[in-house]
Amino acid sequence: MAPQAADDQGDADPVLAVRLQEIRDSSLDSVRAVAGRWEQGLRGLLGITGLTGLVGAPLAADRLSVQAQLAVGILLAVVLLAAGVGLTLAMSAAYGSLRTVAAPLSLEMHETQRAVLAERSRIQMLWGRRFAVTALVLLAIAIAIAWANPGA
């Protein structure tokens, strides 16, 4: 038999019910705190990628073959795009969005709205993290191509 939530047990364990409610209430805040740290990391990744492209491209243009230049250039553009999308998602998860939400008419509706916001922020954070990892992998591939310089 599966355990049931304290809400379904009535007054069986009021301490547990209060603790579960505190966890539900803090869910949105904890997701937003984690997303804020990822957002800062993605800003750094965008800065490093941009700096690599701006400073490294003219230096590497003389040494790399045309195919390697094209591959690295396309990869760096995709890295910037992926990191930018990841940053946007992480910022939405960390700070919320400009979506309007109807004013809750009851405490239950307020709790439901917070749960929906927490889940939306969690999903945005997961996708932001996926885009960040993708950007890092593509950046590593671009660096490997530049070092190997195929076709030179």
Q: What is the pLDDT of residues 41-99, one digit of tens each?
A: 778 877 877 777 677 766 767 788 888 888 888 998 898 899 889 888 888 888 877 67
Q: What is the separation of C-alpha 134 from the centre of its chain, rounded to a whole number of angstroms?
A: 11
Q: What is the pLDDT of residue 2?
A: 41
Mean pLDDT of the chain: 78
Mean pLDDT of 93-119: 78
pLDDT at 100 over 80: no
Report the chain's C-alpha Rg in angstroms. Answer: 23
Q: Mean pLDDT throughout 17-28? A: 69
**pLDDT given at position 149:** 79
Predicted confidence at residue 130, as pLDDT, reads 93
Calpha distance 116→140 (Å, rounded): 36
Amino acid at residue number 126: L
Domain boundaries, the chain: 13-148
